[in-house]
Structure 1
Amino acid sequence: MTGNDVGEQVRRYRVARRLSQRALGEQAGVTSGFLSQLETGRTNASISTLRRLADALGVGLADLVEPGPVSAARVVRADLRRTLSASDGMTKAFLTEPPFGHVEMYAVTMEPGGSTGSSQYRHGDSEEVLLVLRGSVRVELADEIHVLATGDSIVFASSTPHRVANDGDGEAELVWVNSPPTPAD
Structure 2
Amino acid sequence: MERTAAGDDAGLGPRVAVLRRLRGMSLRALAAASGVSSSFLSQLENGRTNASVASLRKIAAGLGVSPAQLLDDSAVHTRGVLRAADRPRLQLEGAEKFVVALPPLGNLEVYAGRFRPGGSTGPEAYAHGDSQEILVVTAGEIVLELGGERYEMRVDDSIEFLSSTPHRVRNTSDADAAVLWINSPPTPDEAPHGPPATG
TM-score (norm 2): 0.66
1:126-165 mapped onto 2 (5 Å cutoff): 126-165=131-170
**Is the Cα–Cα contact under 8 Å of residues 81 and 95 in structure 1 kept in the other structure?**
no
Bigger Cα Rg:
2
Alignment pair present for 1:105 and 2:127: no
Alignment correspondent of 1:93: 98
Structure 1, unaligned runs of 5 or more: none
Distance 1:154 1:106 in 2: 15
Distance 1:89 1:63 in 2: 42
Alignment pair present for 1:37 and 2:39: yes
- Of 86-95 and 159-168, deviating more is 86-95
**Is the Cα–Cα contact under 8 Å of residues 111 and 172 in structure 1 kept in the other structure?**
yes
Distance 1:75 1:65 in 2: 10
Report deviation, 1:3.
10
SS at match of 1:114: strand
Q: Percent of aligned pairs with the same residue?
A: 32
Give the total of aligned pairs: 170
**Is the Cα–Cα contact under 8 Å of residues 81 and 94 in structure 1 kept in the other structure?**
no
TM-score (norm 1): 0.70
Distance 1:65 1:163 in 2: 41
Distance 2:83 2:134 in 1: 21
Distance 1:141 1:35 in 2: 49
Alignment correspondent of 1:82: 87
Report deviation, 1:68.
4.0
Instruction: Give CA deviations for 1:60-109 in whole Å, capped at 9, x if unaligned.
Output: 3x349964435122343544541414141222233333333222222211
Alignment correspondent of 1:117: 122
Report deviation, 1:139.
0.9
| Two-structure CA RMSD over aligned residues (Å) | 3.7
Distance 2:172 2:101 in 1: 28
Structure 1 counterpart of 2:158, which letter? S
SS at match of 2:181: strand
**Is the Cα–Cα contact under 8 Å of residues 146 and 168 in structure 2 kept in the other structure?**
yes
Distance 2:156 2:112 in 1: 15
